[in-house]
């Protein structure tokens, strides 16, 4: 949705950490992105490569861990897997499903040198 | 660059708050977020390939939007301190947000003080329309940006001298995508869908309709001239957000505006 802003947010976290930990170079960045986070991963990779140019993370590898989507069906009163936010409940076919997981967008760890 | 908080990169412009020079203005905000609000990262060093450059992993475990969320928390505390009720109004361009705001301000005259933060890529036309009603307004121009974030809104809300127990309306950039993800410190997001748009907009832009607590179906006075199916629009919205409240309004004729004002007064 706004992958450039996300890439800038990632760079801010990297730069803050690098300053605090006195890191000169970040060689890889590991993210957790939920399947329901509405993030276009290819676009995020493109934006990431662009915004880290000239920073401590210039050329860093971007590793993305996919977190599966989960929801709670109000009619079945049960936790259900969700592949997208509009797919509805796989048990009853209804749409009264509230998203409970898979919306995360986190920087998990950095590989530093 | 702002010497207090390091902001000022990019093209954002806030009326009355110049960002293109080393300003040393004495506003007293921004204590807090430039000491690092995050816990120090834990090192758990291990070398990968022996004989090659020593590298190690550093745990971060932080949300990508954590910086925005920290500013949003500050904004929320600032608003709570003055008991100001803030709403984040989101919609596509042309849904009638500004007209709806002008009408709302007019109807609240003498009852509640209202202040407005206007977000647009360019021009201060909307802030001028609001100021013409007598309410204070500040325009934020996001330049190339497609949404307001909590940092720019924090600057703007501190410039508006918000009275105790007043209402703050934040009119976001007309965009049904990006503003969904950015918490500004508001009490609720209110999405405005006009009946000149498609009934299936909630299905096309589900994130926004999921993030909102209330949907105002605007321009209802035009319904006799259109094929718009109100029930289908409401069903689409409920499909992405079973808990969303829906009100039919027309800022032009005043239809439904009583329900909207009652909703505001109940929560305010």
Q: What is the CA radius of gyration of chain A?
A: 17
For every residue of chain B, which 3-state class applies, written as one string? Answer: CCCCCCCCCCCCEECCECCCCCCCCCCCCCCCCCCCCCCCCCEECCCCCCCCCCCEEEEEEEECCHHHHHHHHHHHHHHHHCCCEEEEEEECCCCCHHHHHHHHHHHHCCCCCEEEEEEECCCCHHHHHHHCCCCCEEEEECCCCCCCCHHHHHHHHHHCCCCCCCEEEEECCCCCCHHHHCCCCCCEEEEEEECCCCCCHHHHCHHHHHHCCEEEEECHHHHHHCCCCHHHHHHHHHHHCCCCEEEECCCCCCCCHHHHHHHHHHHC
Does residue B174 fall inside a structural domain?
yes
Does residue B248 fall inside a structural domain?
yes
* Measured distance CA(B230)–CA(B220) in Å, rounded: 9
Q: What is the pLDDT of residues B52-78, one digit of tens each?
A: 567 899 999 999 999 899 999 999 999
Residues of chain B with pLDDT under 70: 1-10, 18-53
Answer yes or no: is pLDDT of A23 > 60: yes
> What's the CATH number where B196 sits?
3.40.50.300
- The encoded tokens of residue A108 equal 């998990």
Does residue B52 fall inside a structural domain?
no
Q: CB–CB of B179/B48 below 8 Å? A: no
* Residue A8, helix vs strand vs coil: helix
Q: Is B147 on the interface with A (CB under 8 A)?
A: yes
With an 8 Å Cβ cutoff, are B55 and A10 in contact?
no
Of B133, B138, B159, whose CA–CA distance to B148 is shortest? Answer: B138
Does residue B129 fall inside a structural domain?
yes
Q: Count CB pairs under 8 A between chains A and B.
A: 95
Of B65, B78, B81, whose CA–CA distance to B32 is shortest? Answer: B78
Question: How much is the pLDDT for B8?
Answer: 52
- ipTM, two decimals, is 0.84
Distance from CA of A49 to the nearest CA of B (A): 16
Q: What residues contact B258, with CB distance under 8 A and at least 6 apart?
A: none
Q: What residues contact B215, with CB distance under 8 A and at least 6 apart?
A: B190, B191, B192, B193, B202, B209, B237, B244, B245, B246, B247
Q: Is B70 on the interface with A (CB under 8 A)?
A: no
Q: CB–CB of B190/B216 below 8 Å? A: yes
Q: Is A24 on the interface with B (CB under 8 A)?
A: no
Query: What is the mean predicted confidence (pLDDT) over A89-96?
Result: 92
Question: How much is the pLDDT for A86?
Answer: 80
Does residue B1 fall inside a structural domain?
no
Query: What single-letter DSSP state applies at residue A60?
Result: -
Q: Is B129 on the interface with A (CB under 8 A)?
A: no
Q: CB–CB of A72/A97 below 8 Å? A: yes
Q: Average per-residue pLDDT in chain A? A: 93
* Measured distance CA(A64)–CA(A72) in Å, rounded: 25
With an 8 Å Cβ cutoff, are A1 and B177 in contact?
yes
Question: How much is the pLDDT for B126?
Answer: 95
Does residue B14 fall inside a structural domain?
no
β B214-218/B85-91 pair status: unpaired
Residues of A with CB below 8 A from B143's CB?
none
Distance from CA of A104 to the nearest CA of B (A): 7
With an 8 Å Cβ cutoff, are A20 and B181 in contact?
no
Question: How much is the pLDDT for B16?
Answer: 79
Question: How much is the pLDDT for B5?
Answer: 54
Question: How much is the pLDDT for B68?
Answer: 92
Quickly count: other Cβ atoms within 10 Å of residue B105's Cβ: 21
Q: Is B67 on the interface with A (CB under 8 A)?
A: yes
* Measured distance CA(A78)–CA(B238) in Å, rounded: 19
With an 8 Å Cβ cutoff, are B65 and A6 in contact?
yes
Query: What single-letter DSSP state applies at residue A55?
Result: S
Of B197, B179, B223, whose CA–CA distance to B89 is shortest? Answer: B179
| Structural domain count of chain B | 1
Judged on CB neighbours under 10 Å (0-12, 13-18, 19+), B161 is: exposed
* Measured distance CA(B30)–CA(B72) in Å, rounded: 12
Quickly count: other Cβ atoms within 10 Å of residue B204's Cβ: 14
Q: What is the pLDDT of residues A38-89, one digit of tens each?
A: 899 999 999 999 999 999 999 999 999 999 999 999 999 999 999 887 878 9
Does residue B132 fall inside a structural domain?
yes
Question: How much is the pLDDT for A15?
Answer: 95
Domains of chain A and CATH, by start: 3-112 (3.30.2320.80)
Q: Is B177 on the interface with A (CB under 8 A)?
A: yes
- The encoded tokens of residue A39 equal 């993030």
Residues of A with CB below 8 A from B149's CB?
5
Show the domain range for B261.
68-267
Quickly count: other Cβ atoms within 10 Å of residue B9's Cβ: 10
Question: How much is the pLDDT for B52?
Answer: 54
Does residue B41 fall inside a structural domain?
no
* Measured distance CA(B124)–CA(B146) in Å, rounded: 16
* Residue A45, helix vs strand vs coil: helix
Optimal mutation site among A3, A11, A13, interface B, most CBs of chain B within 10 A: A13
Q: Is A64 on the interface with B (CB under 8 A)?
A: no
pTM attached to this predicted model: 0.83
With an 8 Å Cβ cutoff, are B64 and A2 in contact?
no
- Give how far Cα B143 sits from Cα of A68, B4, B9, Å: 35, 22, 11
């Amino acid at each position: 949705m706004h992958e450039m802003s996300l890439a800038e947010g990632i760079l801010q976290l990297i730069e803050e950490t690098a300053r605090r930990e006195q890191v000169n170079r970040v060689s890889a960045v590991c993210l957790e992105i939920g399947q329901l986070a509405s993030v276009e991963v290819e676009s995020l990779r493109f934006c990431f490569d662009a915004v880290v140019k000239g920073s401590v993370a210039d050329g860093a590898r971007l590793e993305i861990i996919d977190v599966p989507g989960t929801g709670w069906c109000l009619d079945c009163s049960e936790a259900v897997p969700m592949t997208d936010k509009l797919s509805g409940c796989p048990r009853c076919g209804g749409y009264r499903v509230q998203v409970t997981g898979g919306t995360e967008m986190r920087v998990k760890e950095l590989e530093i040198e | 660059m702002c010497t207090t908080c390091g902001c000022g990169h990019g093209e954002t412009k806030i009326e009355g708050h110049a960002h293109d020079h080393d300003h040393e203005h004495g506003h007293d905000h921004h204590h807090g977020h430039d000491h690092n609000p995050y816990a120090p990262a834990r090192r758990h060093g291990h070398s990968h390939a022996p004989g090659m450059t020593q590298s190690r992993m550093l745990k971060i475990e932080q949300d990508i939007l954590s910086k925005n969320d920290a500013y949003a928390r500050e904004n929320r505390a600032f608003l709570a301190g003055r008991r100001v009720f803030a709403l984040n109004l989101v919609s596509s361009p042309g849904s009638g947000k500004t007209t709806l705001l002008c009408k709302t301000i007019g109807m609240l005259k003498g009852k509640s003080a209202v202040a407005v933060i206007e977000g647009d890529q360019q021009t201060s036309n909307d802030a001028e329309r609001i100021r013409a009603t007598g309410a204070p307004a500040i325009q934020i121009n996001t330049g190339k940006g497609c949404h307001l974030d909590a940092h720019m809104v924090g600057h703007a809300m501190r410039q508006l001298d918000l009275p105790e127990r007043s209402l703050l309306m934040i009119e976001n950039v007309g965009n049904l995508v990006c503003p969904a993800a950015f918490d500004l410190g508001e009490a609720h997001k209110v999405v405005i869908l006009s009946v000149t748009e498609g009934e299936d907009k909630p299905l096309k832009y589900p994130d926004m309709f999921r993030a909102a607590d209330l949907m105002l179906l605007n321009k209802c006075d035009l319904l006799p001239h259109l094929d718009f199916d109100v029930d289908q629009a409401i069903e689409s919205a409920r499909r992405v957000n079973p808990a969303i409240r829906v009100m039919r309004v027309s800022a032009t004729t005043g239809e439904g505006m009583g329900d909207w004002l009652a909703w505001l007064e109940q929560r305010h």
